[in-house]
Amino acid sequence: MSMTATAPQQMLHTTITHRFAMRKRRALAVPVLIVAYLIYVFFAFDLAGLAGRARLDNGAILLKDFWSYKTHVTRDNRSGEVSVAVEGERKGTYPAGQAPDWVTLGAVTNIALPGGAHATYDGPTARLDIPDFGRVTVAPDGRQIVLTLPDGAALPDWISAAPNRVDINRGKWRFSMTKSRTEVFRYQPGWELFFFTIDSPFHGKSLGDMIALALWEPRLDATQPNIVAMANGFWTNRMWHHDQVFGALGETVLMAFLGTMGAGLIAFPLAFFAASNFAPARSVRLLLRRLFDFLRGVDGLIWTVILSRAFGPGPLTGSLAILMTDTGTFGKTFSEALENIDGKQVEGIASTGATTLQRARFGVIPQVAPVVLSQLLYYLESNTRSATVIGALVGGGIGLLLTQAIITQKDWEEVCYYMILIVLMVMVMDSLSGWIRRRFIKG
């Protein structure tokens, strides 16, 4: 190698070093830009203020409610009646004189609580025996609620006392007394009354008993076999409404199915007129293309707003909204598939004297069918998810139930139930569409 490198070599060397330096700078610029953008967003979204606004106690309630239920033991301080109700709901109330085994009703109501605690309603007075603390007495006195602590005890942070209300919160159970009512809440894991409500003859039976009842034990209700009665009891459960929930799931899948397939049926013939190799005229093709772009560009949100004005809330509106956007998407992809077909097959069919329709049927459709079908199936699956959201917008299907349950801000166990069902539904649709695609399209 001589010291005097030839000019072209020299130039090559400089250009390459220059390019490397450029690339290096560009490679560094990307992360720097992203970080700068994230810093901007940090302030734009007011993340610092978010910490102050966040209600973590709400989060704790929610997480607890997802997997547990509470039973209310309530004494109406006006009538003196004591009632026991799951989640404090009328539909979950035990019939008069009945209670779970940790409550004894009578002249004096005894309530056994977790952690060895014990509550007693003796007339209007409530006594609470709390281990490691002692006996707490709460009693109404005129308009006031009087709290008596054990001798020498200071007010702990888990008791809050106001002149007209006393609250005790021990995590696994809570107590509260106002002038009108005395209440103990006991939290227990599980979804109570998920299968049968209290009025059902099958309530509280163990799994073994249930199997025995279903298979060989005598009928509890003479008019129908036990297994039918069980199915009925479960299906018409008034606390969990399984019939309505599964109906809503069906409605959601229906919206996705009608929307996707309807869009496919409309888009497929139109795609021929929008494909450059089939379009009768350039103007028709351009017009259709713009139409497809328009349908896609007007977002599902806008379609739901416009359509629900005409058709009112419900699954039909949801189906039509999905149909509108997907007609645009399918029109585009189908016409692209049609443009990519092999012309030789069509020529071959044409050489036998086939008409236009026959050429399309035997020359074109077999080529595009796999693309079209797999697109349809893929969108069917993804629309099942969209239909949940659209259902919340148009008021139909599981999306509606979900938003309603969330708005009440207390039925979190139902929210959890719906979430699990939605995930399962989407996964089932996912594997179903995947299975059909593998089985029928890829051979």
Partner 1 sequence: MTDARASLTADYLGQVKRKRLYGGILLILFAALMTSGWMVADGRNAGGFWSGLHRILDFPTEILSEAAQNWRNLPGLFIHYLPSLVETLNIAAVSTLFGAGLATVLAMLSTRGLALWPRLIPVFRRMMDILRAVPEIVIALVLIFILGGGPVPAMIAIALHTTGALGKLFSEVSENCDIKPVEGLESVGANWLQRVWFGIIPQVAPNWSSYALLRFEINIRASAILGFVGSGGIGYDLKTSLQWGLGKYDEVVAIFLLLFVTIMIVDHFSDRARARLVKGGRV
Judged by the rule CB under 8 A, the positions of this chain that interact with partner 1 are: 34, 37-38, 41, 44-47, 50, 53-56, 58-59, 62, 251, 254-255, 257-258, 261-262, 265, 293, 296-302, 305-307, 309-317, 319, 385-386, 388-389, 392-393, 395-396, 399, 402-403, 406, 409, 415, 418-419, 422-423, 426-427, 430
Residue 218 makes CB contacts below 8 A (sequence gap 6+) with none
Among residues 219 and 361, whose Cβ is nearest to partner 1?
361
In the complex, the smallest distance separating the C-beta of residue 243 from partner 1, rounded to whole angstroms, is: 14
In the complex, the smallest distance separating the C-beta of residue 169 from partner 1, rounded to whole angstroms, is: 20
Six token digits for residue 332: 């585009």
Among residues 229 and 377, whose Cβ is nearest to partner 1?
377
Among residues 7 and 407, whose Cβ is nearest to partner 1?
407
Residue recorded with tokens 């496919």: 264
In the complex, the smallest distance separating the C-beta of residue 46 from partner 1, rounded to whole angstroms, is: 7
Residue recorded with tokens 């979204």: 45
* Pairwise CA distance, residues 256 & 263, whole Å: 11
How are the residues of the chain apportioned to helix, strand and coil, as percentages rounded to the nearest 5?
60, 15, 25
In the complex, the smallest distance separating the C-beta of residue 294 from partner 1, rounded to whole angstroms, is: 8
Return the DSSP state at 143.
Answer: T
CB-based contact 335:278 (threshold 8 Å):
no
* Pairwise CA distance, residues 200 & 230, whole Å: 9
Among residues 138 and 415, whose Cβ is nearest to partner 1?
415
Among residues 30 and 215, whose Cβ is nearest to partner 1?
30
Six token digits for residue 345: 């097959």
* Pairwise CA distance, residues 89 & 269, whole Å: 55
User: Other C-beta atoms within 10 Å of 133: how many?
Assistant: 16
In the complex, the smallest distance separating the C-beta of residue 316 from partner 1, rounded to whole angstroms, is: 4
Among residues 7 and 310, whose Cβ is nearest to partner 1?
310
Nearest to 286 by CA among 273, 268, 299, 295: 273
In the complex, the smallest distance separating the C-beta of residue 319 from partner 1, rounded to whole angstroms, is: 5
User: Other C-beta atoms within 10 Å of 189: how many?
Assistant: 9
In the complex, the smallest distance separating the C-beta of residue 41 from partner 1, rounded to whole angstroms, is: 5
In the complex, the smallest distance separating the C-beta of residue 64 from partner 1, rounded to whole angstroms, is: 13
- The count of C-alpha atoms lying within 13 angstroms of the C-alpha of 293, restricted to the half-sphere facing its C-beta, is 7
Among residues 193 and 326, whose Cβ is nearest to partner 1?
326
* Pairwise CA distance, residues 237 & 203, whole Å: 11
Among residues 72 and 296, whose Cβ is nearest to partner 1?
296
In the complex, the smallest distance separating the C-beta of residue 191 from partner 1, rounded to whole angstroms, is: 18
- The count of C-alpha atoms lying within 13 angstroms of the C-alpha of 229, restricted to the half-sphere facing its C-beta, is 19
Strands 118-122 and 125-130: antiparallel
Among residues 109 and 308, whose Cβ is nearest to partner 1?
308
End-to-end CA distance of the chain: 61
Among residues 11 and 47, whose Cβ is nearest to partner 1?
47
Nearest to 252 by CA among 204, 314, 198, 340: 314
* Pairwise CA distance, residues 90 & 239, whole Å: 10
Question: CA torsion sign, 301 to 307 to 312 to 314?
Answer: negative
Element (H, E) at 159: strand 159-162
In the complex, the smallest distance separating the C-beta of residue 298 from partner 1, rounded to whole angstroms, is: 6
